[in-house]
Amino acid sequence: MAAQLCVALDGSDRDWIVTTARRLGPQVDWLKVGLEAFTAHGPDLVRDICSHGPSVFLDLKLHDIPTTVARAAANCARLGAKLLNVHAGGGRAMMEAAVAGVREVDPSGTTKVIGVTVLTSLDSTALAELGTDHRSEMLVLRWAELARTCGLDGVVASAREAADIRRVCGPDFLIVTPGIRPSWAARDDQRRIVTPAGAVSAGSDILVIGRPITAADDPRAAAADVLSEMKS
Ligand code: C5P
């Protein structure tokens, strides 16, 4: 499929979130509700955003025992989210339970479940502190492959990892990529950034972009610029 754009609605101000969703809704493929917005406004906000047109990615990164994750993932699907995620570090039983929970609510499989592999905020020192001497690139690939065998539809991964994941997990595995910065945008707190064109050519399917669009003077124009760069 052609790469799609997902705008991250990161904020705690409900009016700002809903206004931004309304303004950008007609232009983009996906809107993302993450932990900040969800912990401020809960399921009602998700239902509200789901009514604005584009599909909703509910980015809660679930991680708990299998039964709890199965029920929470089913609840995410019931809210209308078409994409949700769980930590691959929760292991096989948890990932399989998440898929089973979502399939009970949505047997047709339109709601996709993806895995979060190694958080990009963890460097080799942090991983060593956590007791693993594996390099993060290796863990990402291993966990992506495990996620695929558990029935997950894809993973969240940086564009730098996308080509290897595509090679190992095949053409139909969704690769959802944050850390995108157009050449004209500030880096903010992102470190290992890739341009929209770079992410598309690395094989990312859905590009997640927040502040370069939502904090722009004209968010609609910024989204249009990103979309045209993705198409080029
Ligand atoms: O504003 P910005 O484009 O940096 O937003 C990126 C979004 O992607 C945020 O919602 C952030 O939580 C999410 N994200 C990320 N890096 C990851 C996983 C998720 O930036 N590794």
Residue-wise DSSP of 95-145: HHHHHHHHHHH-TT--SEEEEE-S-TT--HHHHHHTT--S-HHHHHHHHHH
Q: In the block, which residue shows the tokens 């470190």? A: 191
The alpha carbon of 109 and the centre of ligand 1 are apart by a number of angstroms equal to 25
The verdict on the CB of residue 209 being under 6 Å from ligand 1 is yes
Question: Two tokens at 111?
Answer: 């709601």
* Residue (of 190, 52, 67, 175) closest to 121 by Cα position: 190
Instruction: Please name each of the domains of the chain with its CATH number.
Output: 4-231 (3.20.20.70)
Question: Two tokens at 67?
Answer: 């039964």
The alpha carbon of 208 and the centre of ligand 1 are apart by a number of angstroms equal to 7
Q: In the block, which residue shows the tokens 């950008």? A: 24
Determine contact, residues 144/155, Cβ cutoff 8 Å.
Answer: yes
The verdict on the CB of residue 11 being under 6 Å from ligand 1 is no
Distance CA 151, CA 68 (A): 18
The alpha carbon of 2 and the centre of ligand 1 are apart by a number of angstroms equal to 21
Distance CA 188, CA 201 (A): 23
Output DSSP code: residue 204: -
Distance CA 148, CA 189 (A): 30
Ligand 1 pocket test, candidate residues 5, 9, 10, 121, most atoms within 8 A of CB = 10
Answer yes or no: 61 catalytic: yes
Nearest-CA residue for ligand 1 atom 2 is 210
Output DSSP code: residue 180: B
Active-site position among 32, 61, 112, 231: 61
* Residue (of 73, 8, 9, 78) closest to 41 by Cα position: 9
Distance CA 18, CA 56 (A): 13
| Per-residue model confidence as pLDDT tens for the chain (232 residues) | 799 999 999 999 999 999 999 999 999 999 999 999 999 999 999 999 998 889 999 999 999 999 999 999 999 999 999 999 999 999 999 999 999 999 999 999 999 999 999 888 888 899 999 999 888 889 999 999 999 999 999 999 999 999 999 999 999 999 999 999 999 999 888 877 899 999 999 999 999 999 999 999 999 999 999 999 999 8
Distance CA 102, CA 99 (A): 5
Nearest-CA residue for ligand 1 atom 5 is 210
What are the residues whose beta carbons fall under 8 Å from the beta carbon of 202, sequence distance 6 or more? Answer: 159, 160, 162, 163, 177, 194
Q: What is the pLDDT of residue 123?
A: 84
